[in-house]
Structure 1
């Protein structure tokens, strides 16, 4: 009887939710596992989402630039911050220490700010850096912070489509910008997609740091619609067709477990998870071995 009780306890422990990590990324192994409504007012026309690794929550911004809203992974609002003076916010990324960077599409500027729950901030009060000249509604669409070098990867929507690497100094308002993917002309479709809507570096996933995946990118096209896994020089390694999920998806982020979160203008939150289980953490292996040893001990004892 004691052996049965121990076995049941071990089973319960091992089947309880546990932290897990990914050792690689293959979009072919992903599937849509959940869809949630986002707050209708504060996340209206959601255009970007970023994962905050310090709080393990998501932050969403709409393209009208009225709010940044914090939500849990089921889309429930936790807090919000009012924004003033923004016109066309299309990108948002977390940089650590409660700080975020916002993209203004047409100005092609990026702005650094501290998140203050239930507070407010105006664009004119923020440190900013120009990534390119002012343009029409075809400018910067997405941004992702790279913790390995402290820089950013950005995408420009079209005419031309572009993937940029930017080394930025907000104190001096300066940036060094280079194009990562070569193009033939102004109208080149870098990945065969109609536009570029978002980018996510994989170096924000701790378990991928130190692997070849740390330098890879996820690139989203809203108009095609398609999610791509690429190298930084533009080699496509995999893809995920989003046409059956939504045609208004503009935002993308990834958490420490490799779960992908996408947002659409509806506003909706879409969750994609790997169909192949992630690699358990060392603590999970230790618990498994200890549990198996305990069951063996109890069985031997019951046979005496």
Structure 2
């Protein structure tokens, strides 16, 4: 049930990509993040990480509880663009939170993390599952952690030069206490996104090749003159 709900929400977010009014851009050392600040919802506020290239969210009232909202779900999307001279290679997502429980039944922390190619001529999309680590929610109260990671394919994505300079990223999160018998609450306290890059090897332009060939020709001509002069 979780996956069907999240896939529907993620599909809606992808459909909205073309109409979203991005209002904020945060520029790091190697990448920049563009998003609609007014649409962050329960993800709260966003800021660059201390390293300067991650994006950190501070959730606001992102919680599910048997005494109130038993099912909390939200989705955001962000455009990630590599700065000049760099290309995107991979992404990592880390989330943490806390919980309390008194009774019996399952507690759910899950979601989907997706990337869409915005440069290629074909529609490329990758999904990864976000899920709390095994062993969570076994005590009456405690903390939980969830991770997801995506490595971009070596080929088939990006622009004509084969490098990936920009992607659309979607994060869909779900907290669920609906199946719990008793009293329970789940809170999401932190969401951190990491972007990984490598440098792009510059491809010489046609006039650069011409200058290189002319230079090699001049070197060859001077070498022949020296040989003839010494003969």
TM surpasses 0.5: no
In our comparison, the structure showing a higher alpha carbon Rg is 2
Structure with more relative contact order (C-alpha pairs < 8 Å, separation 6 or more): 2
| TM-score (ref. length: structure 2) | 0.32
| TM-score (ref. length: structure 1) | 0.26
Considering fraction of residues, name the structure with more strand: 2
